[in-house]
Structures are given as C-alpha cells and as structure tokens.
Structure 1
Amino acid sequence: MKRPVYINDFSLRCILGSDEALVLDSLTNGKRGTFTMYDVAGVMRPAATIDPATLAPVPEQKFDNRVNRLSQAAFSAIENTIRKAVEKFGADRVGIFLGSCDNGSEASMAALKCFKETGAFPEGYILDYQRADFPAQFIAQRFGITGMLSVHSTACASSASAFVSARNNLYAGNCDVAIVGGIDIASLSVILGFASLEAMSDKPTNPFSANRSGLTLGDAAVFFVVTKEPSADLCTAKCEGLKVVGFGESADADHITAPRADGEGAYQAMKAALNDAGLDASQIGYVNLHGTGTELNDAMESRAINRLFGEANHADVPVSSTKALTGHTLGAAGALELAFCCMALKNDVLPAHLFDGVVDPKLPPVHLVKPGETAKDLKYCMSNSFAFGGCNVSLIVENGLA
C-alpha cells in the first residue's frame, strides 16, 4: 500500500542563500557559495559556513545559539504555514521531526575552556544546550507546539531518517501534520573531528573526480510542512503536486565510518525506495547523489547507481552532487537536497555537478549533469543520503502535476 507524504511548504538557508530564485540559479549553473578558510592544525581547509553576524539573535535567551539562529532564519519564510497548521490541527497534533548532529557543542566547548581556566563552568551553563532535542524544543516553544518531538542523529542521513520517521508517525495516527527537516553547522569541533578522520579536503570538494581528496563541511537549515493527505488550505502554490512517494532504508553493518565498498547498502536503499513508490528505476528523471567527494563514498555510490539503473536500461539517468556548491551539511543534507529536488521538479531544471571535469576511469560511468542542462517533463527525483555506520536512506519525490 502506498503511503505518500504531501509537501505543503518548505524553506531553506544555506551558503547559497535563502532566496529560492537565486538558489535555483546557483544550482542550475553550478555556482558555488563563498567558502571560508579555516586553520585546522596548521592546514587551511574550506568550509561553507554562514557568517554568524548575518543571523539575528533568538529572542528567547535560553535558545539563543548559532544552531537556533540558523533555524530561525530558515523557518521565517514558512512561519505563516506553520501557524496555520497549528490552528487547523491543534498544537498537540503537530509533530516535529528533525535531523541534527551538532546542537550545541560551541556552548560546551566554551564552558569546558572556562572550566579549564577557572575551575568552574560559566554561570548559567547547563548541558541541556547540547541535548539532541534542543533545536526541536526551540521550534516547539516558538510555535506553542505540544505534539511529539523526534530528533534523529544518524550522521549524514539524519534529516532523511527524519522524513521516514515523520511518514511512519503520520500514518500511525500520532500526529496530523509534521514539521520535518534538518539543521546543522560546521562548528569547530565538527571540523576538527572530520579532519582527524582525514576526510576533509584542503580544497573545495571535487566529487566524482579522479582528483577528489575529501569533503567540505557546510551550514544549513531546512524545514518542510507535510501531511498524509492533500491540504488545500495549507499548500502553497510552489508546492502544488509535490509529494514524497518513496522511502527506502538499509544498514550496511560493515564499518563504523566507511561505506560498504561494493555499494550493496546504497543499492538496497534505492531499490527499497523504488519498491515503496511502486516505480521502476527507468521512471526516475534525476538523482541527487550523496556525492561527498571522498574516495570511498564516490566509488561505492557510482557502483550502486550504475548497477541499479543499468538493470533498467537507464544507466544514463542524470545525476549530480550538489555538495560541491553547498558543502556537506551533515544532518541537514538529506532535507536540503530533497528541497533541491523539489525545486528541480517544479522548474524542469537539473542541479549541475560542479567538479574539475577529470572523470575517474576507475569508477563505473554515470551521467553527471553539466551546468545549464535542462530536463523535460520531470516527474520523479531521487535523493540519496548515505551515512556513517552504513545508515542509508533514499527518498523519491514526485511532481504530481507533471
């Protein structure tokens, strides 16, 4: 039985901005956001971070941190839709489902520094600032929501996992409308952590290139308002016909950080999403790759894509990684890239694949979208999120009006 989730509204903020026309122009023409260089243990590394000075303070002092300031900047564009949903369904029937990995490490790092220097934590510091559900608490408090809160921290798949959870709880009757999305920042602790794993590049990420040398981290916040039935009074014009129709998950159970090298887990997640949607791979018009620019991810993902779509005689399906434009936004990546798929569907465009043009001959061939490449009658897009621990999620979004 099909169990679609209808998209009524969405908003985003990343290094490309929040104005959807400008973001769409950057996506289709392969225009990278402005990356900032950081000194990481003596090596300068780029990150797609948003200048904190451009983010307004959160009025509620308890919640005023960089993560929630970024959330506030993103959800301001859909605030009216959220308030209408609360009014229509009731505050206790609105669920919040987020993906996030770093909710407050900056506060904890500063507190630990203070403790080291003075022997005491700063006045007013509490560990609540780093609770996994802190960003969800902020949204609930802002809109007076008393329904269920669920925060997923499954690394790079977090907000894609949140979509699966939102669908399950909508159909289980635990909520009538869901605010679902992701929020993450490239904090110092995150940058240092990925550098210690030797996963960060000292140049902007170069996915699927023979010269790829690692990922670039980034900031983003993305939110959707979704229901299990069409809702004419909630749905905005830009979202008419948009619904998530395929949800696929798999677990590699192979390595704590590295993906399974043969791409079996990625293949199984994509196959599960197709089966859930009742679709054949040949019906997919575009795939947003996980495409981190690391040696291991791009190798296994190209194998999985080539295998899945090759079986359907559709190996030339257009694909791209938008992380070269936005950085890898970790817990927000799944939601951000699903939003990009929605924009592609409504505008019949394809997000460009930005890299140095040096194709890796060791990878199975895939059709990487060139800047300016367009689509015709685009109806289904797939978005992949493949995380640490082999947590794989694939989502399929449909434009029902195409």
Structure 2
Amino acid sequence: MGASVYLSKPGVLCAAGSNADELWNSVTDGKQDGIRKVTALNGKTFFAGRIADDVLCKPSSARYDMRIMRIEELCLRQIESDIERVKTLYGAEKIGVCVGSCDNGTEFSLAGHRTYFKSGSFPSDYSLEIQGADYVAAFIREKYLLSGPCLTFSTACSSSAGAIVKAAELLKSGICDAVIAGGVDIASDTVLMGFDSLEAVSSEITNPFSKNRHGITLGEAAAFFVMTRDMPEGNAPFARLLGWGESADAYHMTSPEPGGDGAFRAMKSALASAGLNAADVDYINLHGTGTKFNDSMEAKAVDALFGARETPVLCSTTKPLTGHTLGAAGALEAAVCFLSIVNNIGKAAGEIKLPVQVWDGVQDEQLPFLNIVSKGKNCAAGKVRVCMSNSFAFGGANSSLILGL
C-alpha cells in the first residue's frame, strides 16, 4: 500500500450523539434514545434516527439554508482546528474534499415541486443548484477557501466509504497533501416514503440478523475526517486507513447478490490491500441493515472469508442505534471503528469495550453463525488493533474499509 494514510479524530453528528465521544458512549452502552417516531408527508409513521432540531445551527456560508447543510456545518466545526492546521501546513491548493451523500436538496425541491404542481411555477427563490450532487462538497470548499479537488460520491449506502477511498487515492498519488473526507445525509420525507414503497422499512426498530427481522430503520448523520499522509501532530488521537476494497456486482438495482459474492470480494480485496489475513481482524462493523436479503448475503460473505478462524471474529451493526444513515453510513461507521481502536489503546482484555448490537438475540438459523457483540454480553476481545467497516449498497456498489494503528 506504500505510504500510510492517517485519519484525524472525526467530527460526528447523528441520532446517537452530537460528537465522537457521545457516539462512543451510545454505541458501547446500547442507547437508542435518538431513534424516534416521525410522521412523513403521506401521514405514515416510522421509526427513524433523528438529530434534535435544537442542536442544529444556521450554516455560516451556505447559499441555501437547509437541514442537510445545518447538519454538515455543525459536524465540520468539530474538526475545524484540524482543517485550519493542514491548510496552514500545505496550502489551500493541496487540500481536497471528498463527500458521500444521497440527498439532492429534497427539503427544498419537494416543497418547490408542490408549489409548481399547484400554481404552475416554482417559488421565486427556488434554484436547480440545490439539486446538484456537488453542493455538499462545494459548501466545504467555499467555507474554508480551498482550491484542491472537490468531489461528491453518490453510490447509495456506500457513498462516504467511497469518498474515503478516493481521499486515500488522492493522498497516495500526491495530488493532495490533505483531504476532508466523509459524508452527510438526512432521513427526509422523500427517503422515508421511497424506502417504504420498496417495503424495506421496519415497523419496529430494526432487528438485524434476527429470525424476526422486518427491515431497516432510517437515520441521518454527518461524519468527517481530516486525512493526511503525515501523522497528526502532538497527542491528538489518530488511526490509519490500512486498506480498502471495492466491488460492483450489479446484480440488481436494489437487491444484493444472494450469495454475497460482491461483499466477499470487497472484504477480501480490503485485506489484500492492507497486507492482512482474516485472522488479523479484531472487529467488524457489519453493514447489517435488517432486511431479509442484505443480512443473509452479508452473513454468507463474512462466513466465507472469516469462518475458518479458530476464534469467530467479533462483529456488530450499530444501525439499531443510529439508524441507517444512507450516504453517511460508511463514514459514520468508519468513525465507530476509529473510536473502537483509539479508546481501547492500552486496555487490558477485561477492560475492552466494543460497539454493541441491540437486537432480540434470536439468530436466524438459516444464516451462518455470527459472533455478535450484544448488550450485556462480554465482548471477550483480547485486543482491538484492526477493525473492518462494511458498506454494501444498491446496485452492488460494495466497499470495505480496514482501520488500524
């Protein structure tokens, strides 16, 4: 893989916490306070991971003030000192931006189209610019006066994992000396109603890998890292992106390849790029959406790659705590892996904590066994130095990241 790629402590905002430390407390304690009942425009009620309105603030430099920009603004403020540090070190032209997101201004576009259908014209302040995929990345570039590459990735649930991969490639190529990378997405009415039309939304809080699972719980989040080739200065916590793997099985527009071949190839490629074996991975943050087919194929893929280990690899999905945050999921769950590594440095085996999966504990006997870290169950980890984060999206856009020390 060549030179190391370092990740700063992430900025985080989601239903499970307003910063990285709050997120860590929630995922290790199994707190589901941020999963709430919400009512969409069609009158249907859903469970969703929602960020409290009172923590959000108006973006400082956005041309359009909307929910997704308020979430992104507050998240970026958490890593602003790191952004300004690398800007001073390397110059604005050597700092890139890579953002994963699936939202294209739905908050404004939905209202704008309702006005259009009613009156025959859009509101006077409506602009197609807000529906451009690039807006969430352009906002960062403009906010911090950067002039390096500015890219947005929209590959559904693997969007921000792909953004992190591209950031690493920009660093390794020498095109950039630092990259602000991550993702942001919202659980808008369009998203809630769209997934409901696919019959993919659970009527209860999502229950992944259970025999009794009924689908996903959606959520919203932002998570961003400052990524560099140089180790962060001082005593700031950091982890390295050891490797990554991507695949595109293109089996179906929404349904995953049933055997898990695409997921398997992404994970296997990640291990190969990191120069690691399956036995080296201490924890996997599973994609774990709670749908029948996605959980099935992921369990098969994990078993195919890790099933021969003497000790089953520890794993969990944190989506019952955050909701499925779509384009932000890859970055948010990479942040969970980052915290799993840095918060367990120097801990004895009995002191180690890992993210727990809140579920009913009834494993689906039709799926291969998964060694799931559950609430109230000792995680039994001797060390946490290498973590894998999986993101498997619509259209077979699969990504797997490996973080370590």
**TM-score bin (small chain):** over 0.9
- Name whichever of 5-14 and 150-159 sits farther off: 5-14
Trace 1:96-245 onto structure 2 (pairs within 5 A): 96-232=97-233, 237-239=236-238, 242-245=239-242
| Paired amino acid for 1:267 | F
**Residue in 2 that maps onto 1:334:** 330
| Residue 62 in structure 1 maps to residue 63 in structure 2 | yes
Q: Report the Cα distance in structure 2 between the residues aligned to 1:20 and 1:231, rounded to whole angstroms.
A: 18
Q: Report the Cα distance in structure 2 between the residues aligned to 1:63 and 1:136, rounded to whole angstroms.
A: 14
Q: Report the Cα distance in structure 2 between the residues aligned to 1:191 and 1:297, rounded to whole angstroms.
A: 18
Could you give the per-residue CA deviations for residues 51-95 of structure 1, whole angstroms, max 9, x where no partner exists? 334311123351321111001111111111101111111111110
**Residue in 1 that maps onto 2:402:** 396
Q: 1:212 to 1:129 in 2, by over 3 A?
A: same
**Contact 1:352 1:370 survives alignment (8 Å):** yes
**Residue in 2 that maps onto 1:371:** 375
**SS of 1:307's equivalent?**
helix
> 1:203 deviation in Å?
0.9
**Contact 2:260 2:298 survives alignment (8 Å):** yes
**Aligned match for 2:296, one of 282, 295, 299:** 299
**Residue in 1 that maps onto 2:273:** 276
TM-score normalised according to structure 1 size = 0.94
Trace 1:66-77 onto structure 2 (pairs within 5 A): 66-77=67-78
| Paired amino acid for 1:17 | G
Q: 1:95 to 1:61 in 2, by over 3 A?
A: closer
> 1:130 deviation in Å?
1.4
**SS of 2:63's equivalent?**
helix
**Residue in 2 that maps onto 1:49:** 50
| Paired amino acid for 2:319 | K
Could you give the per-residue CA deviations for residues 372-400 of structure 1, whole angstroms, max 9, x where no partner exists? 5343321100000000000110000002x
**Contact 1:9 1:81 survives alignment (8 Å):** no
**SS of 1:328's equivalent?**
coil
**Residue in 2 that maps onto 1:31:** 31
| Residue 310 in structure 1 maps to residue 316 in structure 2 | no
Q: 1:147 to 1:398 in 2, by over 3 A?
A: same
| Paired amino acid for 1:38 | V
**SS of 1:36's equivalent?**
strand
**Residue in 1 that maps onto 2:362:** 358
| Paired amino acid for 1:253 | A
Q: Report the Cα distance in structure 1 between the residues aligned to 2:236 and 2:170, rounded to whole angstroms.
A: 26
Q: 1:210 to 1:3 in 2, by over 3 A?
A: farther
Could you give the per-residue CA deviations for residues 228-268 of structure 1, whole angstroms, max 9, x where no partner exists? 232426xx5222xx101111011112111111100111111
Could you give the per-residue CA deviations for residues 168-188 of structure 1, whole angstroms, max 9, x where no partner exists? 111222211000000000011
| Paired amino acid for 1:333 | A
**Contact 1:178 1:227 survives alignment (8 Å):** yes
Q: 1:79 to 1:51 in 2, by over 3 A?
A: same
| Residue 343 in structure 1 maps to residue 339 in structure 2 | yes
Could you give the per-residue CA deviations for residues 83-110 of structure 1, whole angstroms, max 9, x where no partner exists? 1111111111110001000031111111
- Name whichever of 276-285 and 303-312 sits farther off: 303-312
> 1:336 deviation in Å?
0.3
Could you give the per-residue CA deviations for residues 324-349 of structure 1, whole angstroms, max 9, x where no partner exists? 10000000000000100111111222
Q: Report the Cα distance in structure 2 between the residues aligned to 1:105 and 1:354, rounded to whole angstroms.
A: 31
- Name whichever of 198-207 and 366-375 sits farther off: 366-375
| Residue 381 in structure 1 maps to residue 387 in structure 2 | yes
Q: 1:312 to 1:35 in 2, by over 3 A?
A: closer
Q: Report the Cα distance in structure 2 between the residues aligned to 1:104 and 1:391, rounded to whole angstroms.
A: 23
Gaps of 5+ in 1: none
Q: Report the Cα distance in structure 2 between the residues aligned to 1:27 and 1:387, rounded to whole angstroms.
A: 23
Gaps of 5+ in 2: 345-352
> 1:115 deviation in Å?
1.3
Q: 1:19 to 1:97 in 2, by over 3 A?
A: closer
**Contact 2:182 2:331 survives alignment (8 Å):** yes
**SS of 2:276's equivalent?**
coil
> 1:19 deviation in Å?
3.6
Q: Could you say what the CA RMSD is over the residues aligned between the two structures, in angstroms?
A: 1.5
**SS of 1:68's equivalent?**
helix
**Contact 1:283 1:380 survives alignment (8 Å):** yes
Identity of aligned residues (%): 44
Q: Report the Cα distance in structure 1 between the residues aligned to 2:43 and 2:60, rounded to whole angstroms.
A: 37
**Contact 1:2 1:245 survives alignment (8 Å):** no
Q: Report the Cα distance in structure 2 between the residues aligned to 1:290 and 1:61, rounded to whole angstroms.
A: 32
- Name whichever of 180-189 and 139-148 sits farther off: 139-148
TM-score normalised according to structure 2 size = 0.94
| Paired amino acid for 1:272 | S
| Paired amino acid for 2:390 | N
Q: Report the Cα distance in structure 1 between the residues aligned to 2:260 and 2:36, rounded to whole angstroms.
A: 32
| Residue 319 in structure 1 maps to residue 315 in structure 2 | yes
> 1:143 deviation in Å?
0.7
**SS of 1:224's equivalent?**
strand
**Residue in 1 that maps onto 2:287:** 290
**Contact 1:13 1:70 survives alignment (8 Å):** yes
| Paired amino acid for 1:5 | V
